[in-house]
Chains A and B, each alone.
Chain A
């Protein structure tokens, strides 16, 4: 990574909500950064604080502490009027294409609105800008006079995208933009987002609960649990294996759309329910549900540390070193961070499970099938393959 200014830099962000007199820390000490043209996926389940982070970035909620810089400018302390020029740089796309578009405005009015607010162009130039962006998002100019109610969900989400991109922002915050859509429509929007990102070069903070979508779209991925980032790194580092026990169980929980693969997978489901954010567990937030829990996890809060620190300790249960090639070649600047006291043990045990589940023959066999199906699979066929050689 070069030393160029980051488009977005979030440092030690904490957001506190007050719920019936009690304070809930929805986001706890989150650090994030986004380079130019990068898509960062923020992944997590309901209540993990991913949407709150997105809202804090566009200043829809006020952080209780921490710092957010956009294009090198610290926006946490800016006044409303000073914030205006920055807002032009940061735009948001919302989850629900039905409630995020004013039903009484035509598409032209909706998409033109941000231009008006920022005093850009004249009436005629604005209209041509709107026309251009509408065609960019794959709609025809004939929709300009239509109302949102006359359009399908996919078309509306395209209008939402056009409205955000008409200002040519440097950063797009997309909060679950495809989760309300059917798969066939979702595919179109994802393709569009990839194309637009390539052409316009904006950075994107992509908030999603769908690991398949994150894996398809993002360059880097951050996994959140109960307001904290538990693992962050490149897409391949984070989603290929799941070093953090929570990431691993998320990956295991997503069913693979192939019955042969899905039914032969070893699935480590996470027991219990997500903790109550009003009274978060002591120590590591995951400890009541984690299968690798030791005493230390209950008292000490783990820090988000580079995986390289764990490299030398990567042993299996019998104390044998079982370093994989990938870990050895990892450079210290890759920025793969994991928040877990037991990442090395957890990873070794998970790797062993992958091999010893059932007989290893079936794993090898299903692996071949995997290739045959030219698939697939969040379970990462490669993982099984490499581990087979090791054991």
Chain B
């Protein structure tokens, strides 16, 4: 069976020779229809760059290697012609910042209709009608009036839903969401997440969800890829990530989330130091400098992503595999 999207050994490099910066290293990823795969990490871990690379929206200075197969078909070609035909139609993307990604001088209705006219070759009137339908689908009240509004007349939540409407305009099979709710309030975020969940269930769309919010991941994702400084450090089904996090970085991320404690104000676990600059990665394990359970051999060679249990991969010399005593 071929996956909807199969990424193997994806590397993105900037510069060359001694000054080369490998911003994404050896990324493997597969997405099935109706599945939500979350790419999780902190600023600068390469998660957004991965999305841009899949859509071939990287700057010309980026060198991309590896294989990206969409329905078994290699789309990482030299000239980017294959992805051009798919982009916006079969594979759609929603960007983080809805204000900068919408054109301020066109009405949102026109902007939604644009991609319908381009890809589905529908006449203007029909496209406008469909745009209103799409606005309704993303739960915007009074869509007929809203279609005539300019982006600045809408709230942040509505703008993000307009972005969703544009992405959905041609019924994509794969949807890439880059921090879709980061700029939104929690109640609006909940509405947007509901739309994504519905889409996956009803239209069987495959989704790559890029986020730093482990709450959002817990809500929606099926599989989780944790990235750190360009590399995948852990990859597993969502339940395993939360119940048996094995990489010290994943464990650190989960422990750093402020949460309810019974009356007592407990100290949060912090990860000391900061994310290394990708140009100056330490030798050996990239997390060694910040790791709480670092040992001498961690500084030697780079640990490979290895399977530690069913479908659960971890790139660590000393993964913590002990199963917590939970009676499930």
Q: Which residues of A contact B (CB under 8 A)?
A: 45-46, 152-155, 182-188, 190-191, 194, 209-213, 215-217, 236, 239, 249-250, 252-263, 267, 269-274, 368-369, 372-373, 375-378, 380, 382
Contacts and interface: CB of A to CB of B under 8 A. Distances in A.
Interface string B281-324: 00000000000000000000000000000000000000000001
Given A45-B185, A253-B190, A259-B239, A187 B219 contact: no
Nearest to B261: A216
A269 B130 CA distance: 27
B265 A255 contact: no
Contact of B212 (A183, A187, A249, A267): A183
B198 interface: no
Interface stretch (B7-15, B81-89, B269-277): B269-277
Contacts of A188: 270, 272
Contact of A183 (B158, B189, B257, B328): B257
**Cβ-closest 9 pairs across A and B:** A255-B215, A216-B258, A45-B185, A184-B271, A187-B256, A187-B268, A182-B42, A253-B190, A188-B270
Contact of A212 (B212, B258, B272, B274): B258
Contacts of A272: 141
Nearest to B190: A253
Nearest to A155: B274
Contacts, number: 148
5 contacts: A191-B268, A210-B258, A216-B265, A273-B141, A382-B262
B219 A250 contact: no
B274 A152 contact: yes
B270 A187 contact: yes
Contacts of B260: 212, 215, 239, 376-378, 380
Nearest to B267: A191
A258 B242 contact: yes
A187 B155 contact: no
Dominant SS at the A interface?
helix
Nearest to B215: A255
B143 interface: no
Nearest to A213: B258
Given A152-B274, A216-B261, A369 B187 contact: no
Given A46-B185, A183-B212, A194-B265, A369 B219 contact: no
B218 A255 contact: yes
A257 B328 contact: no
A257 B265 contact: no
B214 A190 contact: no
Interface string B145-182: 00000000001111000000000000000000000000
Given A152-B274, A274-B155, A250 B187 contact: yes
Interface residues of B, number: 54
Contacts of A184: 42, 252-253, 256, 270-271
B191 interface: yes
Contacts of B216: 255
Contact of A182 (B43, B255, B327): B43
Contacts of B255: 187
A190 B239 CA distance: 28
B268 A190 contact: yes
B108 interface: no
Of B187, B189, B243, most buried by chain A (CB within 10 Å of CB) is B187
Contacts of A190: 258, 268
Contact of B190 (A154, A216, A259, A267): A267
B261 A254 contact: no
A186 B219 CA distance: 22
A45 B214 contact: no
Nearest to B45: A182
A270 B215 CA distance: 18
Given A182-B43, A257-B215, A259-B242, A187 B258 contact: yes
Given A256-B215, A257-B257, A259-B238, A372 B326 contact: yes
A258 B215 CA distance: 7
